[in-house]
Amino acid sequence: MEKRISKIVKAGIVLAFGLGVTNVMAVDACKDEMGHSGSGHSVNGNQTGSIQGTSWGFEQWSAGGSNSMKYYDNGTFEASWNNNQDYLARVGFRYGDNGSGVDHTTKHYTVDYKYTKSGTAQYGYIGVYGWTVNPQVEYYIVDDWFSRPSEAYIGAKRGEITVDGDTYTIHAYLRQQEASKTGTSTFLQIFSVRQNARQCGHIDISAHFKKWDELFTGQQAQLSGSKGGGSATLKFGRPTEVMLMTEAGGGATGSVDYTYFNMSENGDASEVSSTPTTGNTDTGNSNTGNTGNTGNTGNTGNTDWGNMFGGGGNTDWSSMFGGDGNTDWGNMFGGDGNTDWGNMGGETGNQGNASIGGNDDGKTAIQGSMKLNNASRTFRVFDLKGHFLGEIELARGVSASEALMTRFHKAGVYMIKSGSFTQRVSVK
């Protein structure tokens, strides 16, 4: 109960500041507008590469038929294909096909996306995709499809995870002497398949990685496979790529258009439950961004925050916990005036020392003195019209305004985003 109250109190504080000062808000890809921004770059044939000004890359791969792909400077992309036996278009993190991969336990991968699709395919997976080494694994987190994945192609159910508003079933399958990143080889495939398809939302990618690590610990198992099946070692390896992807095959013809894309290596974790989600899911427009809205938990949607703890509707926030009306927000929980707001609830966001009180001129709500107390973090940068400008790496001890001035050499007001954290920063 104490933990729940702490979360509710924190939500109230975030709401209060969001309305009055800091403009902190959760990302909701289903509602937020992004669209294609910057230059469009056409991809010809089977090709990989980097998206300039970002930490992301792209890849297009096909077997037969005709196809086209175009990505934009902000990571959004579109693709079309005709009479393809197998086609893949994807954007995200690429660490080198022939490298040693990355330790996924040191990162927290998330993606927010929105897209539309058309066409038909014998099979098709839409969601997160990639490969690992040591061992070699091809993996999928499937949020949507052209035809629902069958166990004949993904293997029997091995477990499940409930996260991001729905339950995903987990499967393993053996590809035997098939095309892979290392040529023709036999390798394991791992799938998480969402019960109810959707075309927008948030995926906590690392939640699936963690669950796969728990389920697949190196044990031997008999699996169905592309050439009759056989014995395989069940283990998830070191990712060489983590990408948002569309795959379609079996004489497939169609198109996709991703108008919202934001993938992070330092995203915020979603709540993972062992209880399957129930209720009426809109498979076309499931609004994952509103799942678990703490501000409305257990109420009618119009909770008077002033009355929430027994106040009279005009509760003085600074006095809410017994203050004198002039309580220093930094000291509200017994701090020393330099409370690390990013760590207030025990979270890993670490937006420490954000200047919340405003500048001395009373005109600008946010100072640019936000600094990280721990490891560096990558932020995407937008102007106030929502146009993507690039990225900054906010290293420990460097303020957001310093990083922005170094990167863009121009004063002004910027919006920085990382995962579900968003803040406006003034640069002078």
- Annotated catalytic residues are 138, 247
DSSP 226: T
| Backbone phi, psi, residue 249, to 5° | -155, 180
DSSP notation for 279-332? S---TTT--GGGTT-GGGTTS-S---TTTTTT--S---GGGTTS--S---GGGT
Cα→Cα distances 262→18, 77, 185, Å: 22, 12, 33
Torsion sign across C-alpha atoms 29, 51, 212, 3: negative
CA atoms within 13 A of residue 258's CA, in its CB half-sphere: 30
Query: Distance between CA atoms of 42 and 253, rounded to whole angstroms?
Result: 19
As given in the structure block, the two tokens for residue 322 are 């017994």
Q: What strands, in cross-sheet order, belong to the sheet with 377-382?
A: 388-394, 377-382, 412-418, 421-427
Query: Distance between CA atoms of 296 and 8, rounded to whole angstroms?
Result: 10
Cβ–Cβ contacts within 10 Å for residue 369, how many?
15
| Angle CA 5–11–13, to nearest 5 | 105
